[in-house]
Structure 1
Amino acid sequence: MSILLQVLVFVLIALSVALVIGIPVVLASPGQWDKLKNLIYGSGAAWSALVIFIGVFNSFVS
């Protein structure tokens, strides 16, 4: 169970880094927001769900 939690936290960190780098690049690129806004919103929703899931899962691991 602990290994799964570590993998989930690693995925959260990787997604966070991707969003921190990717969102400003998309916003600075002309015309890219219209093409990629669904991807950005979906990634933000996945990040939020992952944070909540890790919090709930952590309460069962310890």
Structure 2
Amino acid sequence: MILFVQLLVLALVMLSIILVVGIPVTLASPDQWEKSKNLVYASIGIWIGLIIVTSILNSFIA
């Protein structure tokens, strides 16, 4: 169980790094926002889902 939570945290950290770099690049590129708007919103939804799932599973461990 602890290993699973650690993998979720790793996925959360990796996705956070990707979003921190990717969103400003997407917004700064001309006409790139319209092309990748759905991908950005989906990534943010996955990020929020990872936070919720990780916090719920972590409450069972601690």
TM-score range normalised by the length of the shorter chain: over 0.9
For 2:26, give the aligned amino acid: V
Give the whole-Å Cα distance in 2 for the aligned partners of 1:3 and 1:20.
Answer: 26
Deviations 1:4-38 (A, max 9, x none): 11100000000000000000000000010000000
Calculate the TM-score normalised by the size of structure 1.
Answer: 0.96
**Which residues in structure 2 correspond to 1:7-46 (within 5 Å)?**
7-46=7-46
Percent identity over the alignment is: 50
Q: Which amino acid aligns with 1:57?
A: L
Aligned partner of 1:20: which letter?
Answer: V
Structure 1 outlier segments of 4+, above 4 Å = none
* Structure 1 position 60, deviation (Å): 1.3
RMSD: 0.6
**How many pairs are equivalent?**
62
Q: Letter of the 2:27 partner, please give it.
A: L
Instruction: Tell me the TM-score normalised to structure 2 length.
Output: 0.96
Ranges in structure 2 where 5+ consecutive residues have no aligned partner = none
